[in-house]
Amino acid sequence: MTLTSPQSDSRAESFADSPTLSVVVPTRNEADNVDQLVSRTAAALDASPWSWELLLVDDSDDDTPDRARALGRAGAPVRVMHRRPGSRVDGLSGAVSSGFGAARGQLIAVMDADLQHPPEVLPELVSAVVAGADVAVGSRYCEGAAPDATDGLDGSWRRWVSRLCRVPVWLVRPRLRSVRDPLAGFFVVRRSVLSGVVLRPTGYKILLEVLVRGRWDRTVEVPYRFAPRVAGTSKAELRQGLVFLRHVLRLAGPGPSRS
């Protein structure tokens, strides 16, 4: 998937002025989290020097998009791109890639809707990119991360798998060994890193695609604690693990990345 111009995507509501930052959030049946997602993001970013928008790329079958649009009508800088059944290509990674095309900011943040990625960390991630990084990763494993940084994962098994899954990535893409959390879902990237890049998203690991195929020189990791889910249920399942393994095997072949 090639990143398109934000003006070319007519599926998301648009505003007149382009913000500095677009926060892309893939959503699927997150109606109970939307109000808190918007309020906490606004509290974190309204005091910052950057203009911003929250772009929900929605694959829901509940009233998530209706609740989000209501907040937008009430004045929150919220846009919704609702992908109807039949157009929900490539799952979460496909949703984020569609959000990249519709985002209008020169900086693009990605985080989950379940608030396991705390919006309060966004200013630090954005500041790292403004200061010179190409990609700032919210990391559970970098220096400075708390001992309980992964406690939001469901059980010790998922915490163990999360750590172990980094190893095949580092083996097939040695350049990524400097990134302690290459499978994170919480990050900020410069638009220029993605411009003209062909992404081949699959499963949940969109940051891995960005790091392998994007045009970047410097990454920074910002420690954070992966919080317990606020509401709803996790979308992670065994099938996603198999999708991840296929993704890694595909990345082991020749490609456009610089290893």
244: confidence class by pLDDT, cuts 50, 70, 90: low
Which helix or strand (DSSP H or E) is residue 24 part of? strand 21-27
Amino acid type, 210:
V
| pLDDT score, position 231 | 58
Give the confidence band of 1 by pLDDT, cuts at 50, 70, 90. very low
User: Which class is domain 6-251?
Assistant: alpha beta
Q: State pTM to two decimals.
A: 0.82
Residues 6+ apart with CB under 8 A from 207: 110, 137, 182, 183, 184, 185, 187
| Least confident range of 90-104, 157-171, 175-189, 203-217 | 157-171
Question: Where along the chain do its domains lie?
Answer: 6-251
Burial class (CB in 10 A: 0-12, 13-18, 19+), 35: middle
Asked if residue 133 lies in contact with residue 116, where contact means CB atoms within 8 angstroms, the answer is no
How many CB atoms are closer than 10 A to CB 241?
A: 14
Mean pLDDT score, 152-164: 62
End-to-end CA distance of the chain: 21
* Helical spans, DSSP H, in the chain: 31-45, 64-73, 91-102, 122-130, 155-164, 166-172, 191-194, 206-213, 238-251
Contact 9, 101 (CB under 8 A): yes
Over the chain, what is the mean pLDDT?
82
Edge-to-edge strands, sheet with 107-110: 78-82, 52-58, 21-27, 107-110, 187-190, 135-139, 219-223
